[in-house]
Amino acid sequence: MEPIKTEIVVLGAGPGGYTAAFYAADRGKTVTLVEQNPRLGGICLNCGCIPSKALLHATEILREAKDSAARGIEFVAPKIDLDKLRAWKESILEKLGQGIKGLAQKRGVQVIHGRGHFEDSRTLRVETTEGQKFVSYDKAIIAVGSKPAMPSAFDLGNKRIMTSTEALEIQDIPNDLLVVGGGYIGMELGTVYADLGSNVVVLEAMPSILTGVDPDLVRPVSRAAQKAFKEIRVNTKVLKMATAGKQIKVTMEIDKQQREELYDRVLVSVGRAPNYADLGLENTRVTKDDKGFIKCNPQQQTDDPDIYAIGDVNGGTLLAHRASKEGRIAVEAMLGEASAFENIVIPAVVYTRPAVAWCGLTETEAKQKNIDIKVAKFLWGASGRALTLDRTDGLTKLIIEPDTERILGVGIAGVNAGELIAEGVLAVEMGATARDIADSVHPHPTLSETLMEAAEVFYGTATHTLAARRESA
């Protein structure tokens, strides 16, 4: 059979893959996009960012309604129709999936549905429902993403032990739900189930939930989760799980004491693993790093000069928007431009209640690397907008280089932190100083003012807080 000839083949149609494919097509290349799932969009669209945020939005109403009683507006107990909720969520995914498909068609990107396998450094075999197809390419981009890690000790084949993928389907509302792993996935999905009425217990092996995030940003989240969840147990390890009738018997270790508990469902959210099994990488010169992720240079090029890799398969922070940026860099590198994934600010957002978002240098990182910084912090208790929203559980902080007053990083905890961090990203990317932010007028009353006020805190001139005046300012 005659192979399909293409300049660029992209393997995987997630936010990294389809962005790279579309961008390459926009820059005049012939592009073939290979995706094994019938719906384009990858993990992000099908069982990640989008469905989880849909559910978080839907269930937040439940929480808001409860909180509303204290403000003099009471609702009757809500009725939850899981089938309808699921169908609504599904309709969003379908709309977005169709959208991507339409955009691919309009750009002339050829989409092949099937599993890709590298035959050699220039040929990809695709197993489709209509049999094998061969794609002969000049350059390839691997964008196959990652999947939830499931330690074999927990993998009993019992459907009550779920990963995020199954948890997003909300088969039922379990009475008692155990979340193993207090990272962002566990905390977000724990929030959904807690809102729906489950008694949620989160187990975390490390001393804190959201490991790696600055402790002052985590604090409002822990405080709120301790109220919304049944319990958060840190420094706790799961030793064993076993089927016990319609429940799961979980053996855990807390303070060197073993304890057994029964749960209706367990969500395992202990990390993610790269998806390159059966990809035929052994037939290419692609190599992996010591953590098992694909190794590539700042141009996203692997050790095989014709093959690039972007997104979760490369490890690091597993974020959709990082994959998209890497996809653009890979395409530009192929076009001979001097693009590289260097000094690029990748914001992170955790959609807990309250949300947490940060970008650039964090306080934790500065401490680890022994970088001298000044931190300017504004607590939301003094924000008029936060008070009107009845959400004063937040803070905004700027990480500042002392001599130059340049903003190196921004951290926000609080409602809408994910939207607010965009200004932080722009500030860090543009090399803005605290003075630049302080002197830019922010609309009143909004939460965005907290960035301006934090900058003013740095100079000791914040309107709504009293702080020691900076001597040199």
Partner 1 sequence: MDVKLPRLAEGVDSGVVVSILVSEGQEIKKDQPFIELETQKAVGSIPSPESGTVSKIHVKEGMEIAVGQLLISISTDKDSAVAKPVMGEQTGVQTPVERPAQTRSAPSPTGFEATSTPQAENYRYESKSGATPPAAPSIRKMAADLGIDLTRVKGSESGGRIVLADVRAYIQRLQQRSFEEAKEHPETGRSATTAIPSEPVDFAKWGPIRRERLSPLRRTVSRRMVESWTTIPKINQFDDADITDLLALRKKYAAAFEKKGSRLTLTTFLLKVIAAGLQKHPRANASIDESNNEIIYKDYYHIGVAVDTEGGLIVPVLRDVDKKNLFDLAKELHGLTEKTRQRKASLEELQGGTFTISNQGSIGSGHFTPIIYAPQVAILGVGQGQPKPIVVKENIAIRTMLPLCLAYDHRVLDGADAVRFLKEIITGLESFPEAQVKLK
Give catalytic residues, as residue numbers: 444
SS3 103: helix
451 and 438 in contact (C-beta within 8 Å)? no
Q: Minimal distance in Å, beta carbon 343 to partner 1?
A: 5
Q: How many helices (H) and strands (E) does the chain have?
A: 13, 22
Nearest distance from C-beta of residue 404 to partner 1, angstroms? 5
Long-range contact pairs involving 293-301 (C-beta distance under 8 Å, separation at least 24): 294/142, 298/329, 298/340, 298/341, 298/342, 299/329, 299/330, 299/333, 299/339, 299/340, 299/341, 300/141, 300/326, 300/329, 300/330, 300/333, 300/341, 301/330, 301/333
The label of the residue with tokens 């995987």 reads 12
Q: What's the rounded Cα separation, in Å, for the pair 188 and 190?
A: 5
303 backbone dihedrals φ, ψ, rounded to 5°:
-65, -15
CB closer to partner 1 out of 138 and 264: 138
- Please identify, using beta-carbon distances, which residue of 4 and 426 lies nearer to partner 1: 426
| Cα distance between residue 11 and residue 104, in whole Å | 14
Residue 17, token pair as written in the block: 């893959």
Which of 264, 224, 269, 223 lies closest to 247, judged by CA? Answer: 264
* Residue 170 or 334 with smaller CB distance to partner 1: 334
Of 350 and 427, nearer to partner 1 (C-beta) is 427
Is the Cβ of residue 13 or residue 141 nearer to partner 1 in the bound state? 141
* Least distance (Å) between residue 336 CB and partner 1: 3
Binding site for partner 1 (CB under 8 A): 287, 297, 299, 303, 305, 333, 335-340, 343, 361, 366, 369, 371-373, 401-406, 408, 429-433, 435-436
Q: What are phi and psi of 103, to 5 degrees?
A: -65, -35
Q: Which is nearer to partner 1, 55 or 333 (CB)?
A: 333
For 41, the token pair is 């969009």
* CB 269, CB 181: distance < 8 Å: yes
Helices (H), 69-214: 82-107, 164-167, 184-196
